[in-house]
Amino acid sequence: MSGDSEFILAQEQSVTARAGQKIKEVQGTLVLTNRRLLFVAATQEEVDVVPGIYRTPKVVLHFRYTDIEDLIGIPEDPSNLSILLSSILEVKGHEAIVRDPRLEITWNENSNERKAEFVQELTGGRKKNLNDWAKIILGLKSGSIKPRYIVQYPSLDTLEGKILRILGDMQEKGLYEIENRVEEEFKLDLDPDDVEASCNNLVKQGLVDFIDDNGNDSFFRKRSPLGEDDLSS
């Protein structure tokens, strides 16, 4: 890889996209790279049941997304969008006041003006939301924000490299999930202590952040090249 390579800066899963002349809603994953804004239609779904309080009925939540560990092999779908940052004419972020946080994009595609709105479905527990992407997109477009490019990651032949690939979607994961995902993808049988030691090594190298969960479990997340402008916090 060279310094001109495209790399992922941030992701938001379970985003609803509204685009096209005949507005239709599609859920999926929104991905920001140093060159593009990508929307990838969902291929996976998770169901979370929130228990009711007293006589309040339980709430069933459906999360639809696609895991994007890298930019190779993104599944094709007619609902996918690929928007070059250089083609963006206007970007607006809207905070969650009445509606969920959302991002409005206007861009030029083949001399035609197009518009799309992306709505964040998963909220709470973070300082930054989808509306904060607007400032970062403008900074990337103008060149005032320069992401930190990692010249060399651990080799995929190492356990650290395999774990970093699993964490490529920049979503925080617990040790148990990391172990299972690495074992499943690479057909391995791992020692949990080795997984924890490798995760801690990645933290020491500044490639992964440790997420404190009050001692209940150890969670890790790949560090964004955006540094202090990290949109995952």
Which pLDDT value is given to residue 2? 41
Select the more confidently predicted residue: 196 or 60.
196
Domains of the chain and CATH, by start: 8-51+60-142 (2.30.29.30), 159-229 (1.10.10.10)
In Å, how far are 23, 38, 203 from 19, measured between CA atoms? 5, 13, 39
- Poorest-confidence range of 120-124, 175-179, 185-189, 208-212? 120-124
Please choose, from the candidates 4, 5, 10, 69, the residue with its C-alpha nearest in 3D space to the C-alpha of residue 225. Answer: 10
| Stated pTM of the model | 0.79
Q: Residue 125 has which token pair?
A: 């527990």
Query: Which of the residue ranges 4-8, 14-18, 49-53, 207-211 would you say has the lowest mean pLDDT?
Result: 49-53
pLDDT at 128: 84
